Amino acid sequence: SSEVLEAIENVIQGVLQSLAQKKAPVLTVPNRTDWRNIEFKDSVGLQMIPRCTTKQIRSDCPQSAKRFALMLKILSVIYKMVQSNTYATKRDIYYSDTLLFGSQSVVDQIINDISCMLKIPRRSLHVLSTTKGFVAGNLSYTEEDGTKVNCTCSATVFTVPSNVRGIKNLTSHAKFILIVEKDATFQRLLDDDFFSKVSPCIMITGRGIPDLNTRLLVRKLWDSFQIPIFTLMDADPHGVEIMCVYKYGSVSMSFEAHHLTVPSIKWLGLLPSDLERLNICKDALIPFTKQDENKLASIQKRPYIACQPLWKKELEIMAASKLKAEIQVLTSLSSDYLSRVYLPNKLQFGGWL
């Protein structure tokens, strides 16, 4: 915490020095959303380059003066929390003055900018992420406050802990981890008792685009158990994008890539080639929108696709057909096809990429 306080004090000292010299104070923040500042490494995924371009948030410029003030406001909130050893969620910070901040996304972006500027993980700034992910299956652990969580006993769903770094005593006999894109598919697999029928496994869902805690948990489980991790996504550009976030990270959080990515993650399904292989009726598929076409074209250009020839092939199948499918399309074959046939066969015969 002394390191965090010192980093914030250095920023404020810079502001005071500028004022003393009758200059307009400026905050310099790395350009974390610019692809030119990102490099791709097989072992880490997308990470920020050491000497990246920066943007200036000036106090004397009408376009950025408000943002400058909001950054100082949030820095003061963080400083007080670190001093008093208290925590708050990004939502708490927003609701402390909704009129001032204007929207939740403004608070989210500023906190990420501060984390990147100070080179300090968000958790160390005493800012908690609201968790939306779920975990179930063969896993038990102790939370930071001593609460014992045992997912193994039942088909109960547990919320991903809000302090993943603080959990300890992780134990599991799981043979693999299955990341499921959507909550509905996750619940369906639970109802079918999938995680104990095939072989013991851990199931996780970020319920769409994963939040920080869900990504941290996937990484922590990988570090702890070193077992295979598979993804089960819709066969559409959005599903591929979500899988890439787990595997290679996101541009906006590339400064924290080392804690968040698991490049060994495998694509289990739903593969575009599966739709043909399983003779899925064309009427059950959904035509691409313009947005889908643009999203897919952007994914195909990304640096990590070049080193995944099999993925590249699947994306080409998707681009050529201009059709997408949700995992639920498998129910057109039979109601429990996913848990009874599709997943067991894939896992047994190595049908992943």
User: What are the beta bridge partners of residue 266?
Assistant: 230
Cross-strand partners of 178: 203, 230
Please state, as a whole number, how many other Cβ atoms lie within 10 Å of the Cβ of residue 328: 15
Cα dihedral 271, 277, 280, 285, rounded to 10, equals 40
Catalytic option among 79, 87, 94, 95: 95
d(CA 187, CA 15): 51
Instruction: Point out which residues pair with 90 in neighbouring strands.
Output: none
- Of the candidates 182, 117, 128, 169, the one whose C-alpha atom is nearest the C-alpha of residue 325 is 182
* Run of H or E including 65: helix 65-84
The reply to whether 304 belongs to the active site is: no
Angle between helices 237-248 and 212-225 (to 10 degrees): 60
C-alpha torsion 180→182→188→190, nearest 10:
50
User: What DSSP element (H or E) covers 318?
Assistant: helix 309-321
DSSP structure string for 127-183: EEPPP--EEEES-EEE-TTS-EEESSSSS--EEPPS-GGG-EEEE---SEEEEES-H
**Tokens 């927003």 map to which residue?**
94
Query: Under a CB-based contact definition with an 8 Å cutoff, are residues 178 and 199 in contact?
Result: no
Whole-angstrom distance, CA of residue 98 vs CA of residue 90: 12
Question: Which of 119, 110, 117 lies closest to 77, judged by CA?
Answer: 110
One-letter amino acid identity for 213? N
**Can you read off the two tokens belonging to residue 332?**
């057109």
Rounded to the nearest 10°, the torsion over CA 286, 289, 291, 292 is 40
Cis peptide before 315 (omega within 30 of 0): no
Hey, which residues are catalytic here?
Answer: 95
